[in-house]
Amino acid sequence: MEQLIRWKTLDHDLLIKKTAIKYWRMPVKFYNLKAGANPRKVRIFMAEKKIDIECVDVDMNAGDNNTPSYLAKNPMGKMPLLELNDGTYLAESLAICRYLEALFPDPPLFGETNREKAEIDMWAMRMEHEIYKPVSDVFFHLSDFWKGKREQFPEYGEYQRTYALRRFSWLDSELSTRTYIAGDKYTIADICAQSAFVLGKFTGTPIPKGFINLAAWYENVSKRPSARA
């Protein structure tokens, strides 16, 4: 009997400890850049999971991401950034999404089985490296917006435009066999691609005419309520 009471107390203590840890590690604030592809990724992710936390818009044009107080939170001076209840911060859009997936597993957007998780990771990385990277390079190296703000190499920008179009064509044929990027479910891989294509649409690399599967996929994911997050 005594033993039983002792175990019960231990269980109870453990539960309190676990609840306290969970509470301290909860996200409390999201540092956002409205037009940025990476913050958009996290906003869509949070909307899919119905996560509702305080959102702070950082004014990049006013240099608010390079003030000492912001750099103390994220020395990279970038958005998105997630503030936790314990006063710590997490940067990098995919790392933030992974963290949120662990805290709020439903609906699963990083897969459920080990095989599924690896497959989705593979596609999310491909979307980051093969789609977002060239699309964002076109924006960085060829747009007036970045003129004088960062070093531009227009020739590299043009090269990346050609590269992006080759990759769009590859993705278009991949999508002839399935509804979503990583299979038959909407996942983080779609969110990565979707955010990149929104950026491309406004910065010089829209989906060209004739890429039927890619255009149909984009239209489909854009209809989700989370697309407006």
> For binding to ligand GSH (CB under 6 A), which residues are involved?
33, 36-38, 60, 65, 77-80, 92-93
Task: Report, in Å, the least distance between residue 97 CB and ligand GSH.
Answer: 9
Nearest CB to ligand GSH, comparing residues 197 and 211: 197
Smallest distance, ligand GSH to C-beta of residue 181, A: 17
Q: In the complex with ligand GSH, which residue's Cβ is closer, 38 or 167? A: 38
**How near is the Cβ of 149 to ligand GSH at its closest, in Å?**
8
Q: Which is nearer to ligand GSH, 51 or 90 (CB)?
A: 90
Q: Which residue is nearest to ligand GSH (CB)?
A: 36
CB of 96 to ligand GSH, least distance (A): 7
Q: Which DSSP string do the residues of the chain spell out, in sequence order?
A: -HHHHHHHHHHHHHHHHHHHHHHHTSEEEEEE-TT-HHHHHHHHHHHHTT---EEEE--TTTTGGGSHHHHHH-TT--S-EEEETTS-EEESHHHHHHHHHHH--SS-SS-SSHHHHHHHHHHHHHIIIIIIHHHHHHHHHH-GGGTTTS---HHHHHHHHHHHHHHHHHHHHHTTS-SBTTBSS--HHHHHHHHHHHHHHHHT-PPPTT-HHHHHHHHHHHTSGGGG-
Q: Measured from the CB atom, is 38 or 194 closer to ligand GSH? A: 38
